[in-house]
Amino acid sequence: MATATVENSSYTSTSVETYQLDVESTALIRAAEDILSLTRTMKETWLFGKLDTLGEDERDIKRREQLEKDAQAVKQAVQEGGLLKVAE
């Protein structure tokens, strides 16, 4: 915006100011496109599972440990044949 406020009426200075405004606006548009590209890449990475931003909280850890205990109990019952006895 500083280039637009210069008060000089010559054709040369006007063309230089116009060129500077064009270059600066192009750089601004390019920066916005880069930010959009970055956010798109981050969204794709997050959606397809390569970006782990959430992690596990305490509730998830307890739930996973309980599932592992349950799976071990079922495995042990199957190996001992306890499930077949109950089903018969």
Residue 54 is classified by DSSP as S
Model-level pTM greater than 0.75? no
Domain boundaries, the chain: 1-53, 56-88
User: What are the pLDDT tens digits along the chain (88 aa)?
Assistant: 555 555 667 788 888 888 998 999 999 999 999 999 999 988 888 787 666 556 666 777 888 899 999 999 888 888 877 655 555 5
How far is it, in rounded angstroms, from Cα 40 to Cα 43?
5
pLDDT for 5: 59
Determine the 3-state secondary structure of 14 from DSSP.
Answer: helix
